[in-house]
Chain A
Amino acid sequence: MNADTATQLKAEVEEFLYREARYADEFLLDEWEGLLTDDFHYWVPAGRIEGDPAKQLAYLNDNRARVATRIRQLQTGKRLSQLPTSPMRRILSNIEVQQEAADQISVKANFVIYELAAQSTGELRVWPGQAQYQLRRLQGELRMAAKWIELVTAQAGQRNLTFLI
């Protein structure tokens, strides 16, 4: 890959990640779900990202069917822990892009989310961590095949985590 294509790919990936981040921040759930592949895997371990996710107890370990349920639940209008939804904004940085195969790109990025617990205590919560993405190109478009989140506070227990992190 020459420098130009690498820059171009990085720009394309960044554009995708910023869009994904905005959909999550704004609870644009259908749009967010539209970014996912059919085999999407969503994982927030209770420690580092390492080992086999299937064999660990995590905060969240969704296959595609379960993430669909998660979104449906948020869309019922009765999901107390997001009623009202948390106003939130996230910042992505330190984005590293790695082309794994012709259609397969892995990405690491640092993030900080600022979230207001509007549905309960009204406090501002800060969620720092690293996101690891697997992106796949399908019919020319980038899609998200995996999103794994390593929270800085992973071992410390969490407050309400029912938004899309």
Chain B
Amino acid sequence: MNVRLLSCETVGMEIDYRYLVRADRIHGSLLHDRDIFAEEMQQIFVRGWAFVGHESETKNNGDWVKRQLGTESVIMVRGDDGEINVLSNRCAHRGTALCWEHSGNDSFFQCTYHNWRFGLDGSLRAVPFPDGYSKPKEDLGLDRAGQVANYRGFVFANLDGSACSIDEHLGDAGFELIDRLCEMSPTGKIDLSKGWIGHRVQSNWKLWPESDSDGYHVGFVHASMSASTDTYYDDVAVGGEAVKSSRAVDYGRGHLELDWRPSYKQELSWLGVTRERVRNYCSALAKRVGDEVAQQLLWDGPPHAFLFPNLFLGETVIAIVEPVSPTEMIHRHTAVQFEGVDDAFNERLLRQTEAAVGPASFITSDDAITAERIQAGVSGTATSWAATSRGWVDLSRGMHREVMDEGGVRSSDASDETTNRGFWSRYLEIMSQE
């Protein structure tokens, strides 16, 4: 164990997360310290559950996509049995990465160093000159994720297999948020196979869960968008507590929502159109769920939510938070596509995504710059014990007025930092466990 002293209350050589993460504030070192980053990759992305991809990306047996889970490269592949496997992208022989493209279709993975060949389930199938090995082949397969779960196409993995069940990880709220998205589709199914676009940001990865679920900044960071075009964010998120009924919600376990539903002023706001323009979609939806439910769905729209630790459900956009280093991350997004709609409708969703999210977008480009400015601000905060009287980040907004329901769900005005506190309290639980 190395690790510097981080607080005056620490006597050992461990990072004292309870000291650094408080109910009302966190210390800036959490956003740039290298040792903390290394521990996060292990505790959160190896020992815990994280989102990997969507089954529509691997429709046929042998289809695979390459992903990062924390700093580990993995392959999500549909096996010969039609099941989705999550394998380490690392040859079991001497560690060479197997896949270089973003995606592909193969009936096996062959390493380019000594041509070992692995099946789609990760098992070792063949090695050249096998007489040189006395070990059984079964001991030389690829590392597989210890647990994989698929809920309505959303594939989650826990690499080392030691985490709780997916039911416990997602909780009722996690499932319900995914339901609310999928139910918007006329068939109840969505498709996420239009490819992912990477937005490279020089900030700590944790600034994005915070930004994606922060309702306080919208009127400031996105003022240029409000000033240049009509957007539903003007109705649901700009103007503060005096005029809005949107809620910031902490469901527990780090799952968060900015619940816009009470603030929408008309149906289909989230799509930026009136019913006339998307009649086919509305009637196809009503055909499956009935007029009354459809009416409600069309008002409420898909959720704006974050599922710990790396999945953002942004209405009709899905994004993955991908850590690269303590001060670098990729916000990777794709557009939701519905089944059972005409091409024009799905093209509308593509154009809406391009407008909202990504390096050239009207919205999250400004969030990215903000994250980089936060990074510039906090990167000077020292991690030595002597300096922690300085460099705190305040997250106390709305603490005095948030409410908790019988189920333990906390909520407050959408401009309150209830969501941010929800993220950090889950973070603390995980990082301080043995």
Q: Which residues of B contact A (CB under 8 A)?
A: 102, 194-195, 197-202, 221, 223-225, 227-229, 330, 332, 334-335, 343, 347, 350-351, 353-355, 358-360, 362, 365-366, 368-370, 372-373, 376
Contact = CB atoms under 8 A, between A and B. Distances in A.
Contacts, number: 107
Contact of A56 (B229, B350, B365): B350
Contact of A57 (B102, B194, B366): B194
Nearest to B353: A57
Given A73-B229, A161-B359, A156 B198 contact: yes
Q: Which 6 A-B pairs have the closest CB atoms?
A: A157-B198, A72-B228, A120-B372, A78-B224, A161-B359, A60-B360
A76 to B, nearest CB: 4
A76 B227 contact: yes
A80 interface: yes
B366 A80 contact: yes
A54 interface: yes
A47 B103 CA distance: 13
User: Which one of B199, B360, B368 has the highest number of Cβ atoms from chain A below 10 Å of its Cβ?
Assistant: B360
B194 A78 contact: no
B360 A162 contact: yes
B365 A160 contact: yes
A59 B228 contact: no
A157 B199 contact: yes
Of listed A55, A66, A162, residue having the most chain B CB within 10 A = A162
Contacts of B224: 73-74, 76-80
Contacts of B334: 57
Contacts of B330: 157
B407 to A, nearest CB: 37
Nearest to B354: A61
A80 B102 CA distance: 32
A159 B353 CA distance: 17
A144 interface: no
Nearest to A73: B228
A110 interface: no
Nearest to B349: A57
A72 B343 CA distance: 30
24 contacts: A47-B195, A57-B334, A59-B360, A66-B351, A69-B228, A72-B227, A73-B224, A73-B227, A77-B224, A79-B224, A80-B224, A80-B366, A80-B369, A81-B365, A120-B369, A120-B373, A120-B376, A121-B372, A155-B102, A157-B199, A158-B200, A158-B360, A160-B369, A162-B365
Contact of B355 (A66, A80, A162): A66
Interface in A107-165: 119-121, 155-162, 165
A60 B197 CA distance: 11
A69 B229 contact: yes
A160 B360 CA distance: 7
Nearest to B346: A55
B366 A159 contact: no
Nearest to B230: A69
Contact of A161 (B195, B225, B335, B360): B360
Nearest to A156: B198
